[in-house]
Amino acid sequence: MPNKNISLYSEVKQLIEEAKTFVVQNVNTILVFTNYHIGKIIVEDEQRGKERAKYAEKTLKNLSKRLTKDFGRGYSEDNLNRMRNFYLLFNSRISATPLRKSQEPIKKYATVLRKFTAVKSRRQNALLMWQTAFAEFQFHFPLSWSHYLFLMRISNEDERNFYEIESAQNKWSIRELQRQFNTSLYERIALSKDKKAVRALSKKGLTITKPIDMLKDPYVLEFLDLREESVYTESELETAIINRLENFLLELGKGYLFQSRQQRLTLNSKNYHIDLVFYNRLLRCFVIIDLKIGELTHEDIGQMQMYVNYYDREVKNKNENKTVGIILCKQANTAIIEYTLPKNNKHIFAREYKLYLPSKKQLQKLLQYSGETLITK
């Protein structure tokens, strides 16, 4: 008998501990799940009513009062309207292809549940169905409610989908999502791509298969706290980047690892110094970055070509891809770049950097000028 009690206790204890772990790990999804279905109930009830304005004025207000009384803050009319809008905006998602392809979490969760549903009853089957539906919901909505509140403010669907995918893939905090949006990441990446690649951004996010995929135009370095009109040297710019290396890596994008600064090369007893050296694990190649605060010259491009050649011949392994060189400059001279580099160049690039947040309208005009038809509001 004691053994049976111990066994029963252990089983119940295990269930409680796993349930607590599940709640802690999935608290954000539970909130999104709940708010989505509250929005769904409101919309379905509204559709049975006669007039939208009348419904919003009376029914939603009464619902808010009762929910606030029973459950406290969080159910104001404004919040209920946000839940309603969330459902209206994303309800087609459930029948669409999920953002995440893997079904492993669903299988794993179903396995855990089977331990506690050996005796089949209507209630247990209903629980299993609900839990499986919840696990599947996570694939469609991988972010927190705060993320979705921010995303709902983006009116352009393609842009909104892009930021959702990138937030999920890169595990952006809400603060980082806000920064990437405020620095117009979508438009800056689009400026470096053709129309087909721009359209793919809203379905797959940023995929990196070749060097040009990693580029932005321009790079935004507002986190360095350097004023655009102030006088600073290339050395000071480099030091500021090193002091904010984590921010700089986020701005560079996916797959970057920092290797060194002021990397010395010695050729015929003469020393040269590369400003910054990174490695991109997605492309499996070294990425050399040179910083220029003055006007870009053909000598700058020639020097970068020398650095790239040296790394390709002396540093990289046989199983690694060709080195990429990026010259970050205040103002890129397209004519000099075009005629200094060969036509088939795919590994050396010049890109401008900005020390302030760019205007979305300015970037949209550049996109329209470049022949793209990307419209954001």
Give per-residue pLDDT as tens, 248-299.
999 999 999 999 999 999 998 899 999 999 999 999 999 999 999 888 899 9
SS3 assignment, position 127 = helix
Does residue 376 have a pLDDT over 70? no
> Which residues have C-beta within 8 Å of that of residue 364, sequence separation ≥ 6?
187, 374, 375, 376
Assign 3-class secondary structure to 280-305.
ECCCCEEEEEEEECCCCCHHHHHHHH
- The pLDDT score that the predictor gives to residue 251 is 92
214: confidence class by pLDDT, cuts 50, 70, 90: confident
Q: Which of 201, 202, 162, 207 is nearest to 180 (CA)?
A: 162
From the CA atom positions of the chain, what is the Rg in Å? 27
Per-residue model confidence as pLDDT tens digits over 292-342: 988 889 999 999 999 999 999 999 999 999 999 999 998 888 788 888 888
Domain limits of the chain?
2-146, 151-209+361-377, 219-357
Assess contact for 324 and 346: CB atoms under 8 A: no
Q: What is the mean pLDDT of residues 31-49?
A: 82
- Percentage of residues in the chain having pLDDT higher than 70: 76
Q: What is the pLDDT of residue 58?
A: 76
To 5 degrees, how large is the angle CA 42–CA 47–CA 48? 100
- Please tell me the distance from the alpha carbon of residue 291 to that of residue 322, in angstroms, as a whole number: 21
Q: Which CATH class is domain 219-357?
A: alpha beta
Q: Residue 366 has what pLDDT?
A: 66
pLDDT band at 7 (very low <50, low <70, confident <90, very high): low
Cis upstream peptide for 342 (omega within 30°):
no
Taking each helix axis from N to C end, the angle separating 2-25 and 27-48, rounded to the nearest 10 degrees, works out to 70
Give the three-class secondary structure for 324: strand
Share of the chain above pLDDT 90, in %: 35
Distance CA 361, CA 377 (A): 9
The CA-based dihedral angle spanning residues 15, 20, 23, 25, taken in that order and rounded to the nearest 10 degrees: -110
CB-based contacts of 14, cutoff 8 Å, min separation 6: none
Max Cα–Cα distance, the chain, nearest Å: 88
> What pLDDT does 207 receive?
82
> Which of 365, 349, 325 has its CA nearest to residue 192?
349
pLDDT for 33 equals 85
Of 19-23, 208-212, 325-329, 370-374, which gets the smallest average pLDDT?
370-374
The tally of CA atoms less than 13 A away on the side-chain side of residue 172 is: 26
**Alpha helices (runs of H) in the chain, residue ranges in sequence order:** 2-25, 27-48, 52-71, 77-90, 104-115, 122-140, 145-151, 157-170, 174-182, 185-190, 195-204, 234-243, 245-252, 298-310, 334-340, 360-369
111, 114, 116, 119 alpha-carbon torsion, rounded to 10°? -170
Q: Of 210, 180, 116, 190, which Cα lies nearest the Cα of 364?
A: 190
| Rounded CA separation 293/353 (Å) | 10
Using one digit for the tens of pLDDT, what is the confidence trace for 68-104? Answer: 888 888 889 899 999 999 999 998 877 544 444 434 4
- Cα separation, 61 vs 238, in Å, equals 56
**Amino acid letter, residue 98:** P
Residue-level pLDDT at 377: 35
The residues near 235 (Cβ < 8 Å, ≥ 6 apart) are none
Of 109, 115, 159, nearest in space to 138 by CA: 109
* Three-state DSSP class for residue 225: coil
Residue 300 contacts residue 349 (beta carbons within 8 Å)? no
Predicted local confidence at residue 280, as pLDDT: 96
Terminal alpha carbon distance of the chain: 70
Mean pLDDT for all residues in the chain? 81
Task: Please give the model's pTM, rounded to 2 decimal places.
Answer: 0.72
For residue range 106-140, what is the model confidence (pLDDT) as tens digits?
A: 455 555 445 544 444 554 555 566 666 677 777 78
Q: What angle do CA 287, 291, 294 make, to 5 degrees?
A: 150
User: 203 or 134, which is more confident?
Assistant: 203
215-255: pLDDT as tens digits: 888 899 989 988 776 778 899 999 999 999 999 999 999 99
Residue 61 makes CB contacts below 8 A (sequence gap 6+) with 77
